[in-house]
Amino acid sequence: MLGYIIRRILAVIPVMVIVAIFVFLLLRLTPGDPAAIIAGDSATPAQIQRIRESLGLADPLHIQFITWMGQLAQGDLGTSIISNQPVTRLIGQRIWPTLQIGTLTIILSVLIAVPLGVLAAWRHRTWADYAVMTFSVLGFSIPVFVIGYIFIKIFAIDLRWLPVQGYTPPGQDLQAFFTRAVLPCLTLATIYIALIARMTRASLLEVLGEDYVRTARAKGVKEHVVLFRHALRNAAVPIMTIIGTGFALLISGVVVTESVFNIPGIGRLTVDAILARDYPVIQAMILLTSAIYVFINLLIDISYTFFDPRIRY
């Protein structure tokens, strides 16, 4: 068990190195010269060259790479070209709203989606199943920003139950945090509820046909125990995979929601950085998102051993 976890953690290192190489090359090899952008339209070639040298962009590619990796290893992600602040500090300011909204969303999704999926599988081919499946298709097909504006129209403007947008840190005022977080979370959750409910249903339907479920019924076990204790845990591995991948996608997909609800998270930071061609920030954001992906996948892999004692690689 411990050996498995350590091996999984060690396997993360080469993945992250490869990601770093890709990020580095991606930005160096795409057209567009950051030095020219910083210098502005009226700069002379000499000015641009000076800026290029000060950014280290004039060095050969491999020297740039080694320098960059050296900085990375020390936790230095560079300095924003636009705001002149260290990128680590920029991210540090922005990541908490994103993580809070993301975590809340995924908890909400799981709490709603798993029971819905179980219901659909248990009442297979009845109206309950069809209702869940219809909702699931809708959840997939309506774009996030449309759902967001519909929620704002109904709950904030017409009913006036909740504020339209904004963000308050939970440390400052917990109630204000929740009232402002509800709409963005619900908006984001729609697609994940659809996804997780579908996966739960499919996975559970398969397990409900297994012999040990028949055995449990033959033992006279109550139906809810059959569903949750016997079936759901055996169906857990694919559901966990979807939840984990969903969470990772969520962190990188908050861009739209944060714009709609005006939340100062990393989604907005990324959008601003891209619009301004702020290369160090873009680089850092891609690295960070990849790291989150890898880390969450690591957690999923480890969670498998908890759900299924047979998994010991």
Q: What is the DSSP string of 158-203?
A: IS--S-SS----TTT-HHHHHHHHHHHHHHHHHHHHHHHHHHHHHH
| Site membership for other proteins, residue 14 (CB under 8 A) | no
Q: Least CB distance from residue 311 to other proteins, whole Å?
A: 10
Contact call for residue 215 and other proteins (CB under 8 A) = yes
Size of the site for other proteins (CB under 8 A): 26
H or E element that contains 111: helix 87-122
From 124, 286, 116, 127, select the one nearest 189 (Cα to Cα).
116
Q: Which CB sits closer to other proteins, 124 or 153?
A: 124
Residues 121-160 binding other proteins (CB under 8 A) are 125
Determine if 7 is a binding residue for other proteins (CB under 8 A).
yes
> CA 94 → CA 86, 166, 169, distances in Å?
13, 14, 11
* Contact criterion met (CB below 8 Å) for 114 and 282: no
The Cα–Cα gap between 223 and 135 comes to 25
- For other proteins, the binding residues in 232-291 under the rule CB under 8 A are 233-234
Q: Of 152 and 231, which has the nearer Cβ to other proteins?
A: 231
Cβ nearer to other proteins, comparing 5 with 138: 5
- Is 219 an interacting residue with respect to other proteins (CB under 8 A)? yes
Binding part of the chain for other proteins, among 172-180, 209-217, 245-253, 265-273 by CB under 8 A, reads 209-217
Q: Which of 29, 46, 73, 218 binds other proteins (CB under 8 A)?
A: 218
Give the Cβ contact number of residue 200 at 10 Å.
28
Task: Please report whether residue 9 would count as binding other proteins according to CB under 8 A.
Answer: no
| Cβ atoms within 10 Å of 191's Cβ, excluding its own | 22
Output the smallest distance, CB 213 to other proteins, in A: 8
201 is an interface residue for other proteins by CB under 8 A: no
Q: Which of 217, 224, 262, 274 binds other proteins (CB under 8 A)?
A: 217
225 binds other proteins (CB under 8 A): yes
Distances 240 to 60, 145, 260 between C-alpha atoms, Å: 45, 26, 29
Would you say 187 and 118 are in contact if contact means Cβ atoms under 8 Å apart?
A: no
> By the criterion CB under 8 A, which residues form the site for other proteins?
3-4, 7, 125, 210-212, 214-223, 225, 229-230, 233-234, 307-310
